[in-house]
């Protein structure tokens, strides 16, 4: 078999494609898009570290001519992600934010976007500081209630941009119900006025939730987090299932040069192979730590939809296969004690980011949400004594002991 037979998912022969569809998530995560190298038999997909491709004659190439337009390692990475999200086409970007930017660039000045008020901080900044000055309009609403979204819809609304669970309070939105509502409203709108639903699936990963299956048009990832899983790269992705959207993203990616390097794509593919086993362990560790925290006398509140006491526990059970490793909690303590706690753990490391195998601890008010004015933070429910955990896959008793020691020292 020639390598070029694998250049795109569309070109994979029909029987191979049908076979891949019968595979479960775990199998697809390891194999899709990554058939053995025909030249050498290399079992692991190679890093095609090349800018250009030698052509046998004019117009006679193997599907690749220049690495901005296409690189086999990037193609393979996009294919496996598309398969995991039940989409048709995947595009890999240098960062998650670059992926969101590519979605924003599909819009025109004067278009209106609705997104959730507790949107990822970097996305909020992109909307507010980069896209608004060039003519995009934004509304930020509490997406837990569908009516807040529908009330914000205007004639020029083109995109609903959602996240679930959100950071740092792990709030959920009902993807299926929102999609159904928007699709119904779209029926009365002209072709030009159709609203798209874009979904940032970073916190869940496709193992836990598949927004395209629930009605979203575009799914986006900061693969820096759970998908790569080892905190060693920044990288992003878009997956779609509509051929027109796929064409637009492909055209745009080549035209703007907004794409990830082959080595980073390769590291991402390597990480994706273990996604399912990692997520199961994140979930398990999170169950035990959330339960332990909710019984701790110094803890005022735990924000984690896994807990039956959580207001959105039913939606969590309906929408997600299991949970991730993310929770936050409020400490019944002074700001000084909170600062002491986050800097005294030995396994949980004080750091930004999330979704890696190692556990991290953070203080949203002074770290991830420091740029949000204090009044606005309090409105969002981000108090000064809120602590966020990204629970890794270490031994859970070690993690609990680490937190216990830190609590005792504050």
Report if residue 120 touches ligand PLP, rule: CB under 6 A.
yes
The CB-of-359 to ligand PLP minimum distance in angstroms stands at 16
Positive or negative: CA dihedral 19, 21, 26, 28: positive
Q: In what order do the strands lie in the sheet with 349-350?
A: 299-303, 326-331, 386-390, 360-362, 349-350
Spatial neighbors of 214 by CB under 8 A, at least 6 apart, are 175, 176, 179, 319
Is the CB of 320 or the CB of 333 nearer to ligand PLP? 320
Q: Total binding residues for ligand PLP by CB under 6 A? A: 15
Does position 122 interact with ligand PLP (CB under 6 A)? The reply is yes
Q: Which residues are catalytic?
A: 68, 120, 200, 225
Region binding ligand PLP by CB under 6 A among candidate stretches 16-24, 90-98, 148-156, 272-280: 90-98
Helix, strand, or coil here: 389?
strand
- Is 198 a residue that touches ligand PLP (CB under 6 A)? no
DSSP secondary structure, 26-88, as one string: HHHHHHTT-PPPTTT--SSPP----SB---SBTTB-SS-SBTTT--HHHHHHHHHHHHHTT-S
Name which of 97 and 173 has its Cβ closer to ligand PLP.
97
Minimum Å gap between C-beta 46 and ligand PLP is 25
Q: Which span sits near ligand PLP by CB under 6 A: 92-100, 147-155, 266-274, 283-291?
A: 92-100
Q: Which of 163, 174, 330, 402 binds ligand PLP (CB under 6 A)?
A: 163
3-state secondary structure of 243: helix
Q: Give, in order, the Cα–Cα distances in Å from 184 to each of 157, 194, 242, 251.
A: 15, 11, 18, 29
Q: Compute how many other C-beta atoms are within 10 angstroms of the C-beta atom of residue 408.
A: 10
C-alpha dihedral, 265 to 266 to 268 to 270, nearest 10°:
170
Q: Which of 76, 173, 234, 240 binds ligand PLP (CB under 6 A)?
A: 234
Nearer to ligand PLP, 122 or 215 (CB): 122
Q: Which of 205, 209, 222, 324 binds ligand PLP (CB under 6 A)?
A: 222
Using only C-alpha atoms, the chain has a radius of gyration, in whole angstroms, of 22
The answer to whether 96 contacts ligand PLP (rule: CB under 6 A) is: yes
Paired strand residues for 137: 112
Q: Which of 34, 83, 202, 209 binds ligand PLP (CB under 6 A)?
A: 202
Residue 9 or 225: the one with the smaller Cβ distance to ligand PLP is 225
Structure tokens of 121?
């901080």
Of 231, 269, 241, 236, the closest CA to residue 47 belongs to 269
* Residue nearer to ligand PLP on the CB measure, 197 or 333: 197
Judged by CB, which is closer to ligand PLP: 9, or 124? Answer: 124
What is the smallest separation between the CB atom of 61 and ligand PLP, expressed in angstroms? 32
Chain positions contacting ligand PLP, by CB under 6 A: 95-97, 120, 122-123, 163, 200, 202-203, 222, 224-225, 234, 236
């Amino acid at each position: 078999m020639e390598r070029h037979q694998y250049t795109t998912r569309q070109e994979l022969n029909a029987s191979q494609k049908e076979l891949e569809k019968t595979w479960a998530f775990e199998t697809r995560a390891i194999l899709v898009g990554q058939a053995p190298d025909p030249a050498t038999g290399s079992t692991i997909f190679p890093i095609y570290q090349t800018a250009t491709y030698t052509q046998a004659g004019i117009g006679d190439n193997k599907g690749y001519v220049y690495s901005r337009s296409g690189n086999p390692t990037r193609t393979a990475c996009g294919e496996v992600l598309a398969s995991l999200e039940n989409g048709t086409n995947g595009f890999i970007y240098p960062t998650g934010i670059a992926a969101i930017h590519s979605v924003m660039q599909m819009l025109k000045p004067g278009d209106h976007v609705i997104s959730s008020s507790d949107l990822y901080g970097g996305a909020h900044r992109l909307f507010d500081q980069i896209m608004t000055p060039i003519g995009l309009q934004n509304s930020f609403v509490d997406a837990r209630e569908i009516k807040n979204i529908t009330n914000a819809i205007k004639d020029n609304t083109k995109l609903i941009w959602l996240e679930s669970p959100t950071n740092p309070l792990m709030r959920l939105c009902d993807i299926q119900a929102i999609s159904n509502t928007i699709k119904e409203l779209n029926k009365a709108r002209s072709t030009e006025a159709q609203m798209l639903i874009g979904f940032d699936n970073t916190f869940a990963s496709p193992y836990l939730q598949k927004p395209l299956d629930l009605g979203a048009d575009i799914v986006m990832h900061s693969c820096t987090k759970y998908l790569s899983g080892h905190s060693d790269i920044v990288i992003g992705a878009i997956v779609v299932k509509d051929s027109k959207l796929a064409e637009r993203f492909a055209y745009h990616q080549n035209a703007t040069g907004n794409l990830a390097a082959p080595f980073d794509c390769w590291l991402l593919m390597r990480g994706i192979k273990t996604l399912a086993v990692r997520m199961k362990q994140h979930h398990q560790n999170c169950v035990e730590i959330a339960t332990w925290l909710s019984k701790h006398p110094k803890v005022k509140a735990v924000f984690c939809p896994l807990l039956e006491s959580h207001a959105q526990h039913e939606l969590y059970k309906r929408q997600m296969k299991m949970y991730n490793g993310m929770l936050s909690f409020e400490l019944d303590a002074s700001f000084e004690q909170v600062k002491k706690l986050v800097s005294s753990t030995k396994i949980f490391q004080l750091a930004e980011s999330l979704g890696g195998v190692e556990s991290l601890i953070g203080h949203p008010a002074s770290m991830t949400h420091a740029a949000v004015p204090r009044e606005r933070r309090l409105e969002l429910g981000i108090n000064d004594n809120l602590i966020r955990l990204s629970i890794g896959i270490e031994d859970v008793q070690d993690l609990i002991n680490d937190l216990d020691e830190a609590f005792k020292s504050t």
